[in-house]
């Protein structure tokens, strides 16, 4: 049986890697729907290769042009637009698997729609889980959805856990702790005094991974590791103290699980997202991902250090947020999205990102977020505060 796949965020880095793996296995996968925000030319090219039934453009300004391009290309796919269309292609009865690869909070609602419809969800969009953790996991559990991690660290942890692992039950599985590895990004060793002057191009030049701009900046500030810490807590039912962040600049080990008999299981591989994507697409089988095999003889160095929170204050903020509760994770994620967008536009310095995040965390109101509507309203409220703070600082 072929798996029918919807790819939310098909034109991004994860979306493109997913289509690369799918194209290697036409007998196993077919594409039901592809979505993008603005990159409609890329979307049309992808549709010509994969012949989906639906294309969704989330930015309405690009809808008419996309319809025109689809007609010129003689595509049979129906072109849709807007939030309802995203939810529809994530939850349609014809769909087996949804790759959640929209960047940021915009991915929350369609990913939740997939959870409510009991789909197999391949989760790349960590921000959705950070902003709605408990509610999202509840929807997955209540609707018998399957949640498989795409983030390389979480996919590695998943691979190193026993298959019998029960949610939130480390002691039963004989686990001491989870070792969440991170490369430290492009500024791991640069003098602290230079950080304030780093440009978007420098921040996006990750030494090991080729990724979208938002996550690349998050990797440079290590907010990415902070978001991943929160993501790991929700995905596996961990407490923040169950997790130790370890800097491993080579990005060959993608994370580890330490057991109480002294064993440490690590998942390794070249830093290429097609490995976790292929793993999750075919789970519990294994398929070729197209990734070059690891050659141990060519690895010259293999090092591990503790992260320096003076260099990476966002990491400490994320730890604080996950301990404070859902509202704090939602606020930190919203503030960070505003800060990173401002940095990429050249209106905020690199060090200003953590400053804005910290400023918002000092002011954020402590509230209970019991529903998606609560979460979205709170996310919007924090974004407005962050924008006001930015204007005040300018
Ligand atoms: P990209 O920026 O490369 O791609 C983002 C995708 O989301 C694009 O298809 C984009 O469309 C679409 N998109 C952007 N804004 C919106 C919006 N407002 N509404 C709907 N769709 C939108 O990001 P990545 O592929 O790098 O990352 C995607 C997610 O995966 C992120 O959450 C990231 O944290 C996570 N992730 C990524 C990894 C990587 O290696 N890249 C590794 C681990 C996790 P368009 O192209 O038209 O703008
Ligand atoms: Mg990651």
The CA distances from residue 250 to 130, 229, 254, in Å, are 26, 20, 10
* Nearest to 139, CA basis, from 104, 103, 91: 91
* 60 assigned to some structural domain: yes
User: In the chain, how many domains are there?
Assistant: 3
Tell how strand 146-149 and strand 120-123 pair up.
Answer: parallel
Integer angstrom CA distances of residue 372 from 22, 125, 135, 320, 392: 32, 17, 8, 23, 30
Structural domain contains residue 96: yes
Q: Count CB neighbours of 383 within 10 A.
A: 18
What is the atom index within ligand 1 of the atom nearest the CA of 102?
A: 7
Neighbours of 94 (CB within 10 A): 11
C-alpha of residue 143 to centroid of ligand 2, in Å:
27
pLDDT at 1: 84
User: Which residue range forms the structural domain that includes residue 114?
Assistant: 3-150
Predicted pLDDT at 394: 62
Residue with tokens 């637009």: 81
Q: How far apart are CA 330 and CA 334, in angstroms?
A: 6
All residues with CB under 5 Å from ion ligand 2: 151-153
- Give yes or no: residues 122 and 183 share one domain: no
Query: What's the 80 CA to ligand 2 centre distance in angstroms?
Result: 31
Ligand 1 atom with minimal separation from the 62 CA: 47
Beta strands 175-182 and 253-259, pairing class: antiparallel
Together in a domain, 73 and 170:
no
Ligand 1 centroid vs 189 CA: distance in angstroms? 28
Q: What is the CATH number of the domain that holds 383?
A: 1.10.1740.10
Residue 153 Cα to ligand 2 midpoint, Å, equals 5
Examine the domain organization and report whether 229 and 333 are in the same domain. no
Give me the sign of the Cα torsion angle 345, 348, 351, 352. Answer: negative
CATH number, domain containing residue 84: 3.40.50.720
**Best residue for ligand 1 mutational test, from 20, 212, 216, 273 (most atoms within 8 Å of Cβ):** 212
pTM of the model: 0.98
Same domain? For 10 and 145 the reply is yes
pLDDT given at position 392 = 85
Task: Give CA separation, 329 vs 11, 133, 245, 386, in Å.
Answer: 27, 9, 18, 15
Looking at 195-252, which runs of residues are DSSP E strands?
243-247
- Ligand closest to 152 (CA) is 2
Helical (H) or strand (E) element with 392: helix 372-393
Last residue of a domain, one of 227, 255, 270: 270
**Ligand index nearest the alpha carbon of residue 99:** 1
Residue 228 sits in the same domain as residue 89: no
Number of other residues whose CB lies within 10 A of the CB of residue 296: 9
190 and 138 part of one domain: no
Distance of CA 270 from the midpoint of ligand 2 (Å): 13
Q: Which two tokens stand for residue 205?
A: 């030049």
Q: Which ligand is nearest to the CA of 130?
A: 1
Question: Contact at 8 Å (CB) between 90 and 111?
Answer: yes
Residues 335, 250, single domain; the answer is no
* Paired strand residues for 3: 29
Q: Whose CA is nearest to atom 22 of ligand 1?
A: 37
Residue 146 and residue 165 in one domain: no
pLDDT value, residue 300: 83
Residue 269 neighbours by CB distance under 10 Å? 21
Pairwise CA distance, residues 30 & 143, whole Å: 24
The beta strand positions in the chain, using DSSP E, are 3-8, 29-36, 54-57, 78-81, 97-100, 120-123, 146-149, 175-182, 243-247, 253-259, 264-268
Q: Is residue 368 part of a domain?
A: yes
304 lies in a domain? no
Q: Which two tokens stand for residue 48?
A: 């010509």
Q: Pocket around ligand 1: residues whose beta carbon is below 6 Å from it?
A: 9-15, 36-39, 58, 101-103, 106, 124-127, 151, 209, 211-212, 214-215, 273
CA of 327 relative to ligand 2 center, distance in Å: 23
State the distance from the centre of ligand 1 to the C-alpha of 35, rounded, in angstroms. 11
Is 315 a member of any domain?
no
Residue 387: which H helix or E strand, with range? helix 372-393
DSSP 143: T
Q: Is residue 285 part of a domain?
A: no
Question: Is residue 132 located within the same domain as residue 8?
Answer: yes
User: Is 282 among the domain residues?
Assistant: no
The widest CA-to-CA distance across the chain, in whole angstroms, is 63
Same domain, 52 and 94: yes
Q: Which of 82, 101, 129, 277 to mutate to test the pocket of ligand 1 (most atoms within 8 A of CB)?
A: 101
**Ligand nearest to the backbone CA of 182:** 2
Please state, in angstroms and rounded to a whole number, the distance separating the CA atoms of residues 178 and 38: 38
Judged by its nearest atom, the ligand closest to the C-alpha of residue 150 is 1
Print pLDDT tens along the chain (394 aa).
899 999 999 999 999 999 999 999 999 999 999 999 999 999 999 999 999 999 999 999 999 999 999 999 999 999 999 999 999 999 999 999 999 999 999 999 999 999 999 999 999 999 999 999 999 999 999 999 999 999 999 999 999 999 999 999 999 999 999 999 999 999 999 999 999 999 999 999 988 989 999 999 999 999 999 999 999 999 999 999 999 999 999 999 999 999 999 999 999 999 999 999 999 999 999 999 999 999 999 998 899 999 999 999 999 999 999 999 999 999 999 999 999 999 999 999 999 999 999 999 999 999 999 999 999 999 999 999 999 999 987 6
| CB-CB neighbours of 138 under 10 Å | 12
Predicted confidence at residue 10, as pLDDT, reads 98
Entry field: residues in the chain: 394
Which residues, other chains included, contact 385 with Cβ-Cβ below 8 Å and sequence gap of 6+? 335, 360, 363, 364
Atom nearest to 40 CA in ligand 1:
47
Report CA(123)–ligand 1 centroid distance (Å): 12
- Does residue 313 sit within a domain? no
Say yes or no: 176 and 255 in one domain: yes
Contact (Cβ atoms closer than 8 angstroms) between residue 250 and residue 299: yes
Closest by CA position to 20, among listed 101, 92, 94, 114: 101
Domain end marker among 117, 134, 150: 150
DSSP summary character for residue 98: E
End-of-domain residue from the set 119, 150, 181 = 150
Are 117 and 165 contained in the same domain?
no
Q: Which atom of ligand 1 is nearest to the CA of 39?
A: 47
CA of 74 to the centre of ligand 2 (A): 38
């Amino acid at each position: 049986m072929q798996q029918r796949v919807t790819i939310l965020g098909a034109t991004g880095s994860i979306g493109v890697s997913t289509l690369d793996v799918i194209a290697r296995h036409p007998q196993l996968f077919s594409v039901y729907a592809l979505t993008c925000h603005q990159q409609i030319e890329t979307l049309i090219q992808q549709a010509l290769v994969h012949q989906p039934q639906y294309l969704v453009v989330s930015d309405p300004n690009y809808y008419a042009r996309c319809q025109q391009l689809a007609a010129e290309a003689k595509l049979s796919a129906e072109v849709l637009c807007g939030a309802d269309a995203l939810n529809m292609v994530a939850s349609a009865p014809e769909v087996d698997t949804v790759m959640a690869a929209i960047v940021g909070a915009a991915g929350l609602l369609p990913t939740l729609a997939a959870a409510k419809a009991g789909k197999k969800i391949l989760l790349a969009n960590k921000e959705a889980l950070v902003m709605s953790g408990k509610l999202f996991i509840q929807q997955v559990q209540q609707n018998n959805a399957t949640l498989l991690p795409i983030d390389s660290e979480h996919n590695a942890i998943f691979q190193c856990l026993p298959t019998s692992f029960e949610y939130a039950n480390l002691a039963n599985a004989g686990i001491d702790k989870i070792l969440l590895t991170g490369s430290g990004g492009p500024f791991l060793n640069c003098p602290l005094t230079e950080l304030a002057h780093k440009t978007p191009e420098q921040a996006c030049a990750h030494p090991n991974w080729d990724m979208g701009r938002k996550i690349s900046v998050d990797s440079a500030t290590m907010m990415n590791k902070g978001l991943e810490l929160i993501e790991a807590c929700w995905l596996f039912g961990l407490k923040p103290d169950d997790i130790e962040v370890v800097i491993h600049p080579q990005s060959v080990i993608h994370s580890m699980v330490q057991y109480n008999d002294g064993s440490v299981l690590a998942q390794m591989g070249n830093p290429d997202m097609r490995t976790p994507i292929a793993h999750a697409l075919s789970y519990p089988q294994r398929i070729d991902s197209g990734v070059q095999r690891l050659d141990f003889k060519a690895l010259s160095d293999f090092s591990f250090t503790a992260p320096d929170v003076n260099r990476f204050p966002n990491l400490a903020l994320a730890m604080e947020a996950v301990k404070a509760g859902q509202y704090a994770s939602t606020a930190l994620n919203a503030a960070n999205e505003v800060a990173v967008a401002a940095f990429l536009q050249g209106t905020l310095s690199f060090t200003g990102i953590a400053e804005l995040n910290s400023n918002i965390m000092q002011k954020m109101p402590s509230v209970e977020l019991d529903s998606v509507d609560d979460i979205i309203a709170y996310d919007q409220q924090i974004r407005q505060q962050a924008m006001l703070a930015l204007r005040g600082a300018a």
